[in-house]
Amino acid sequence: MISQFRRYADSWIAKGFFVIMAVSFVGWGISGDIFRLMGPPTWVAKVGSQTIEIPAFQTEYQRAMALETRDLPSGQEATPDLRRRVGQQTLERLIAQAAIGKELEDLHVVTPDDALAAAVRAMPAFKGRDGQFDRAVFASVLQQNGFTEARFMTQLRADVAQRQLISTITGSVVAPDAEVKPLYASEYEKRSADIAVFPLSAEPDPAAPEEDVLNRWYGNHPDSYTTPEYRRIKAIELSPQSLASEISVTDEELHTAYNEHKSDYVTPEKRSAQVISAQDEAKAVSLAAKWTAGADWTAMQAAAQADGAAAITQDDALEVQFPDPDLAKAVFSAPADAVSAPVQGQLGWFVVKVTKIAAGSVTSFDQAKDALRSRILASKAADVMYERANKLDQLLGNGTSLDDLPSELGVAGVAGTLDAKGNTQAGEPAPIPGPAELKAAIIAAAFQARPGDPAQLTEVPTPSTGGSAYYALTGESIIPPGQKPYDEVKARVAEDWAADQRRREADHAATALMTEVQGGATFSGAARLAGVTPRLSPLVTRNAPDAGIPQELQRVLFGMKKGETTMVETPEGFVVGQLTEIVTPDPALDKAGYDQAREAIARSLSNDMAAVFVDAVRARAKPQINQANVDSVVQPR
């Protein structure tokens, strides 16, 4: 048999067959490489010779989505429109960065290592409690935001270079007076008005109404007396709290954790201060005298500038955040709202006025014990929860009902009826166990689930306990909204009707006063005839709230002519106001305010110029976009 096979292998037929097979295998290998080379592109955008690959885009997109959706209720997914918007913003940002990077490369602009290190050390996010750069904080912040150190430094190096380029473009921007003056006049113009207030609380209670009046009110306001939609659910949760009986936390562990993180339980004192900095003692003494004599901060800013001194403010600052240690000592030893004597520091002479003191505090061990226990429990339960969650997921995936889950898995069960606020039909909070984040997730999921849908295990991050938890639920029934019976809400109907009558009376009285003034009567005379005492409001600006004038009136005051009268409604009643005074600001007397307006305009113009420059660079780079790959990340099927 073997000899026959050998003779056959030597035949021309066999040799031809092996040649065909060899060519086929070689062709297969080559064609496989060719097909791979000719496969679909893996980039979402191409800028010059640089490509933005799918993984890079996906990472940035996921980070942007996490920031955009952090305030959504737990369990609620982002809408397709939101995903598209964030995806487009992320893509445009990456394209702009690539285009500017290409521009920097063409211009041979680089970021030196010492400038990069200085930028990192200057970032507030990387500073410890002493106000200095902290390597451990740096590593923690990068980890929390999904960055490796190498990737962060590469991106920061590019950012520093980009800022250097754009600052060169925008550094020479000067705001013209033609734009500054209108903004300054709008922001700093002050107005006051004569005011007459008609509070609802001053109106007498109306006479008791007939029954048919209340019935008519009830019928005309059906939406005011309805029950909310309720959902009856059954749920299970797996959390450190549900496993607490299996896991012990000793007092020694609690004390050790408290001592290791003791700095977390100390809140240092913070102070806000106004500071005049002068180069010599004589100027500091002169400025301190003006300040002590009653000059306000605006006047002191102008006086300091005239004397070649500096006027600065520091809000809610730690002692280490003041640039001069002698200044810091003076600020943190001075009483509030008092002008200090001149103090000599390493950087000159200072005069200080402390405007706010936020006292420090220490959270004791007993106060922190419950939170510490929850965090230690969450840490110890993490491995157990992971194993149990896998088992739960398999059981639920195989069709096991919530009632038939094994008791040894350590889950806690709950069943009941609740509304969208998490309250029972009795108006009390539903007794859902576990951390607050888990409760919120279960309530939100209850109103997304449909009766009969299979239960699915869902993980919920629980920052309050430093871990996570799981839940699964089924919707059993839906109780639609309905109107409460009249007899059940009769007392509330009577209260609502009476409140409406008081509002009508106050409205009528205020309208009558406004009509009298508009007809030529003096404001004070008409107000006294109406039985209210008029008062003059303080001078107020357009955007700064003032307790001396209702905000509803302040909002319309700057659209009125002098002598014009108006009426506004507030939660407390009605207010009639007549514009009596308009104070036009004078830049010559308020250089600090005018300079602030100029800086605001300059910043706006700089931002506009930077945006125009970036758009021009982007257009010159002629980016190509692969929309299919973008959609595969933003709207995956």
Question: What is the SS3 assignment for 552-619?
Answer: HHHHHHCCCCCCCEEEEEECCEEEEEEEEEEECCCCCCCHHHHHHHHHHHHHHHHHHHHHHHHHHHHH
Least confident of 207-211, 246-250, 388-392, 573-577: 246-250
d(CA 427, CA 75): 24
C-alpha dihedral sign at 284, 345, 591, 187:
negative
d(CA 494, CA 207): 11
Residue 474 has pLDDT above 50, yes or no: yes
Confidence of residue 147 (pLDDT cuts 50, 70, 90): confident
pLDDT of residue 435: 85
Together in a domain, 474 and 490 = no
Higher pLDDT, 512 or 11: 512
Higher pLDDT, 229 or 115: 229
pLDDT of residue 637: 59
Residue 136 has pLDDT above 60, yes or no: yes
Collapsing DSSP states into helix, strand and coil, what is residue 395?
A: helix
319 Cβ partners below 8 Å, 6+ apart? 268, 269, 271, 328, 329, 331, 332
Is the residue at 505 inside a domain?
Answer: yes
CA angle 374, 377, 379 (to 5 degrees): 110
Together in a domain, 444 and 545 = no
Angstrom distances, CA of residue 162 to CA of 92, 145, 183: 16, 22, 31
CA dihedral 606, 607, 609, 611 (to 10 degrees): 160
> Which of these three, 480, 508, 538, is where a domain ends?
480
Is the residue at 136 inside a domain?
Answer: no
Together in a domain, 472 and 494 = no
Span 104-130, mean pLDDT? 81
> Which of these three, 305, 333, 359, is where a domain ends?
359
Burial class (CB in 10 A: 0-12, 13-18, 19+), 200: middle
Span 455-471, mean pLDDT? 85
Residue 221 has pLDDT above 70, yes or no: yes
Residue 276 has pLDDT above 80, yes or no: yes
Max mean pLDDT among 76-80, 134-138, 254-258, 397-401 falls in 397-401
Burial class (CB in 10 A: 0-12, 13-18, 19+), 234: middle
Higher pLDDT, 21 or 129: 129
Residue 580 has pLDDT above 90, yes or no: yes
Residue with tokens 């921007």: 173
What is the Cα 251 distance to its own chain's centre? 37
Is the residue at 406 inside a domain?
Answer: yes
pLDDT of residue 40: 67
Together in a domain, 427 and 566 = no
Instruction: Confirm if 75 and 460 have CB atoms less than 8 A apart.
Output: yes
Residue 182 has pLDDT above 80, yes or no: yes
486 Cβ partners below 8 Å, 6+ apart? 215, 218, 493
Together in a domain, 383 and 474 = yes
Alpha helices in 364-413 (DSSP H): 365-397
Q: Which CB contacts under 8 angstroms, 24+ apart, belong to 445-448?
A: 445/75, 445/471, 445/473, 446/231, 446/233, 446/235, 446/418, 446/473, 446/475, 447/229, 447/231, 447/420, 448/75, 448/76
Residue 419 has pLDDT above 50, yes or no: yes
Residue 24 has pLDDT above 50, yes or no: no
Together in a domain, 245 and 371 = yes
Percent of all residues in the chain with a pLDDT value above 70, rounded to a whole number? 92
d(CA 458, CA 470): 5
d(CA 222, CA 146): 52
pLDDT of residue 187: 87
Confidence of residue 363 (pLDDT cuts 50, 70, 90): confident
Tally of helices (H runs) and strands (E runs) in the chain: 20, 19
Instruction: Confirm if 504 and 260 have CB atoms less than 8 A apart.
Output: no
Confidence of residue 410 (pLDDT cuts 50, 70, 90): confident
Span 307-328, mean pLDDT? 86
Tokens at 334, concatenated: 């001075």
Is the residue at 609 inside a domain?
Answer: no
d(CA 495, CA 345): 66
Span 572-588, mean pLDDT? 93
Residue 38 has pLDDT above 60, yes or no: no
By C-alpha distance, which of 130, 194, 224 is closest to 481? Answer: 224
Together in a domain, 58 and 153 = yes
By C-alpha distance, which of 484, 434, 469, 474 is closest to 450? Answer: 474
Residue 155 has pLDDT above 50, yes or no: yes
Least confident of 72-76, 168-172, 241-245, 580-584: 72-76
pLDDT of residue 616: 87
The CATH number assigned to the domain holding 344 equals 3.10.50.40
Is the residue at 606 inside a domain?
Answer: no
pLDDT of residue 76: 65
Residue 376 has pLDDT above 90, yes or no: no
d(CA 613, CA 607): 10
Collapsing DSSP states into helix, strand and coil, what is residue 2?
A: helix
Tally of domains in the chain: 5
Q: Mean pLDDT, the chain, as a whole number?
A: 85
pLDDT of residue 73: 61
Collapsing DSSP states into helix, strand and coil, what is residue 483?
A: strand
d(CA 489, CA 224): 10
Span 376-383, mean pLDDT? 78
Cβ neighbours, 10 Å, residue 579: 22
Domain span including residue 330 = 269-359
Together in a domain, 64 and 161 = yes
Which stretch of DSSP H or E encloses residue 350? strand 348-358
Span 539-559, mean pLDDT? 91
Together in a domain, 543 and 508 = yes
Residue 20 has pLDDT above 70, yes or no: no
Together in a domain, 99 and 32 = no
**159-176 per-position pLDDT tens digit:** 887 777 777 777 777 888
Is the residue at 372 inside a domain?
Answer: yes
Alpha helices in 293-324 (DSSP H): 297-306
pLDDT of residue 13: 42
pLDDT of residue 33: 42
Residue 22 has pLDDT above 50, yes or no: no
0.85 cut: is pTM over it? no
65 Cβ partners below 8 Å, 6+ apart? 78, 83, 86
**58-113 per-position pLDDT tens digit:** 888 888 888 887 766 655 677 888 888 989 999 988 988 888 888 887 888 778 88
pLDDT of residue 354: 93
Tokens at 57, concatenated: 């885009």
Together in a domain, 293 and 333 = yes
pLDDT of residue 551: 93
Residue 381 has pLDDT above 80, yes or no: no
Together in a domain, 215 and 280 = no
Is the residue at 387 inside a domain?
Answer: yes
> Which of these three, 337, 359, 381, is where a domain ends?
359
Residue 28 has pLDDT above 60, yes or no: no
Percent of all residues in the chain with a pLDDT value above 90, rounded to a whole number? 38
Collapsing DSSP states into helix, strand and coil, what is residue 527?
A: helix
Is the residue at 305 inside a domain?
Answer: yes
